[in-house]
A and B are shown apart, each in its own frame.
Chain A
Amino acid sequence: MGATWSDVADWIEPLSRGFVLNLEITFITILLGFPGGFVLALLVERRSPWVRWPAMVIVEIGRGAPALVLLQFVYFGFPQIDLTLSSFASAIVALSVSTACYTSEIIRSGLAAVPKGQKEAAEALNFSSADSMRFVVFPQAAKISSPAMMGFSILILQSTTLCFTIALPEIASQAYEIGSTTFQYFPILSLTALFFIFVCVPASFLVGWFERRSEP
C-alpha cells in the first residue's frame, strides 16, 4: 500500500495530458459560449414576442438543467436522431450552450447597468443602433460584466470534469482510470485536486481583486 514518489512522477504525465484537454475545452467553450450569451441577451431584450419568448425559454432551460444532464442529452440523445457526436464535440456543444445561457443573464444585467443617458446621447448624436451598441453601450457593459465573466470562466474549467461521464480522457477520467487499476485513489485524486488548486485559487483571487477594483 501507499504510493511512492516515482508513482506520482508517472502519473503527472497522463494527468497533464488530461488537464490540457480540460483547458482546450474551456477555451473553445468560452470562444463560442460568450458570444452566444451576448446574442441571447440581445434576443431576450427584443420587443417582438416571437423572438423574445423562444429566447427566454432557451435561456431558462439552459440555466435550469444541470450541465451534466445537457452533456448526456447531447452525447446519448443525439444518436437517436442519427446525429452521433464524438465526446469532444458533445462536450463543446453542451458546455457552450450552458455557458451561453448563463452568461446571457450576466451580460444582460451588464447592458442594463449602462446608464440610460448614454444610449440617449448616442441616439441624439444620430448613431445607428448598431454603432450605439458597438461603441457606446457594449464597451461599458463589458467592463461592468468582466469580473463575473472571469468568475464564470473558472466554473467552466471545473465543469469540464463532467466530461468524465461521456468517456472523454480529460483529467478526472485519467485519475479515475489510474485509481481503478492501482487502487491508489487518494494520492491520485489529491494530485488531480492540486492541478485545480494551482489554477483556480490564484484565478479566483484575481477575480476578487478585479471585483473590488471595479466596485467603487
Chain B
Amino acid sequence: MTPDYFLLLLTGLPYTFAVTGGALLIGALFGFPLLLVRRSKVTILRWTAVMLIAVIRSIPPIVWIFLIFFSIGTGVFPISPLSAALVGFGLIATANMAEIYRGALIAVHHGQTEAAQALNLSPFHTMWDVILPQMVRVCLPVAATYAIGLLKDAAIASTIGVPDLTYQGRHITQMTLQGLSVMGSVGIIYVLISLPIAWIARVTEAHIRKTVSL
C-alpha cells in the first residue's frame, strides 16, 4: 500500500470518530432520562422502557441504519448517511447507556441511600450529592469499554456510504485488489484507537475501587 493510499485511508478517521463520539454523546444524554423512566414507579411506564430497551437492542445495527437511511431517507425527509448513522447508533447507544447507568445505580445503591436518608437528606440531594458522583465513577470504566464496542459497531456506517475508515479500506481494496494489507491496516488502526480507551477503562476501574462504596 503506497503512502497516498494510506493517507486516503486516514481521511476516514474523522468520520469514524464522528459517528462513535456523536452516538456516545447522544447515548450519554438520552440514556439518563430513559433510565429514570426505566425506574419509574408507574408500572406501565417502567415496562414500556424495559420493552423499548430490549427491542432497540435486539435489532442488529445494520438493520437499524438501513431502516433509518433507506426508509426515511428515500421518503419525506432526505437524510445524509452521516446523520442516519448518528441517529441509528445514537438510538442504540441510548438503550445501552440506560442499562449501563442502571447497573451503576444498582452497584452504588446498597447502604448509601439508607445512610443519606438517615442523615435526613432530601431525595434530590441524596441523588445529587451521594448517588450520582459515585455512579459516574462506576460508569466510567463500563462506558469506556462500551465506547470501544461502539467504535467497532460504527464501522457498519460504511455500508450506507459514510466515508469512514472501513469505507475507505474497502474503496482502496477495490482499486488495488490488495485486501490483505489494506483491510489488515484498517483492523490494526481500530486496535490502536481502542488501546488508549481500554487503558482509561483500566485506570478508572482501579481508581473507583478506592473511592466508591460498592
Which residues of A are in contact with B by a Cβ distance under 8 Å? Answer: 60-61, 64-70, 72-73, 75-81, 154, 158-159, 161-162, 164-165, 172, 175-176, 179, 183, 185-186, 189-190, 192-193, 196-197, 199-201, 204-205
Given contacts A73-B183, A80-B179, A197-B55, contact A175 B66 (CB under 8 A): yes
Given contacts A179-B70, A197-B58, contact A61 B188 (CB under 8 A): yes
B100, chain A: closest CB distance, angstroms = 14
Q: Judging by beta carbons under 8 Å apart, are A69 and B155 in contact?
A: yes
Cβ-closest 9 pairs across A and B: A200-B58, A76-B179, A64-B191, A77-B179, A65-B187, A186-B71, A66-B152, A77-B180, A73-B183
Contacts of B115-156 to chain A: CB distance below 8 A: 148, 151-153, 155-156
Q: Judging by beta carbons under 8 Å apart, are A176 and B66 in contact?
A: yes
Instruction: Give which listed residue, A69, A77, A80, contacts B190 with CB less than 8 A.
Output: A69
CA A176 to CA B65, docked complex, whole Å = 12
B212 close to chain A: CB less than 8 A: no
Q: Which of B38-46, B77-85, B166-174 contacts A (4 or more CB under 8 A)?
A: B166-174
Write the chain A residue with the least CB distance to B61: A158
Write the chain A residue with the least CB distance to B64: A193
B195 close to chain A: CB less than 8 A: yes
B196, chain A: closest CB distance, angstroms = 12
- CB-defined A-B contacts under 8 Å, sample of 18: A61-B188, A61-B191, A64-B191, A69-B166, A76-B173, A77-B184, A80-B180, A159-B60, A161-B60, A165-B170, A186-B67, A186-B70, A190-B67, A196-B60, A197-B58, A201-B55, A201-B58, A204-B57
Given contacts A67-B152, A189-B71, contact A161 B62 (CB under 8 A): yes
CA A87 to CA B191, docked complex, whole Å = 25
A127, chain B: closest CB distance, angstroms = 34
Write the chain A residue with the least CB distance to B170: A72
A149, chain B: closest CB distance, angstroms = 17
Q: Judging by beta carbons under 8 Å apart, are B63 and A172 in contact?
A: yes
B3 close to chain A: CB less than 8 A: no
B170, chain A: closest CB distance, angstroms = 6
Q: Chain A residues near B64: list those with CB within 8 A.
A: 193
Given contacts A73-B180, A73-B184, contact A204 B152 (CB under 8 A): no
B112 close to chain A: CB less than 8 A: no
Q: Judging by beta carbons under 8 Å apart, are A186 and B75 in contact?
A: yes
Q: Chain B residues near A78: list those with CB within 8 A.
A: 179-180
Write the chain B residue with the least CB distance to A162: B62
B11 close to chain A: CB less than 8 A: no
Q: Chain B residues near A204: list those with CB within 8 A.
A: 54, 57-58
CA A190 to CA B67, docked complex, whole Å = 7
Instruction: Give which listed residue, A60, A64, A72, A161, contacts B183 with CB less than 8 A.
Output: A72
5 new A-B pairs (CB below 8 Å) besides A65-B191, A73-B187?
Answer: A64-B194, A66-B153, A172-B63, A179-B70, A197-B59
Q: Judging by beta carbons under 8 Å apart, are A80 and B170 in contact?
A: no
Q: Chain B residues near A179: list those with CB within 8 A.
A: 66, 70
Q: Judging by beta carbons under 8 Å apart, are B67 and A81 in contact?
A: no
Q: Chain A residues near B177: list those with CB within 8 A.
A: 79-80
Q: Judging by beta carbons under 8 Å apart, are A66 and B155 in contact?
A: yes
Among B59, B151, B190, the most chain A Cβ lie within 10 Å of the Cβ of: B59
Instruction: Give which listed residue, A61, A72, A77, A193, contacts B67 with CB less than 8 A.
Output: A193
Write the chain A residue with the least CB distance to B67: A189
CA A29 to CA B148, docked complex, whole Å = 22
Contacts of B187-205 to chain A: CB distance below 8 A: 187-188, 190-191, 194-195
CA A68 to CA B190, docked complex, whole Å = 12
Q: Judging by beta carbons under 8 Å apart, are A189 and B66 in contact?
A: yes
Q: Judging by beta carbons under 8 Å apart, are A201 and B54 in contact?
A: yes
B113 close to chain A: CB less than 8 A: no
B57, chain A: closest CB distance, angstroms = 7
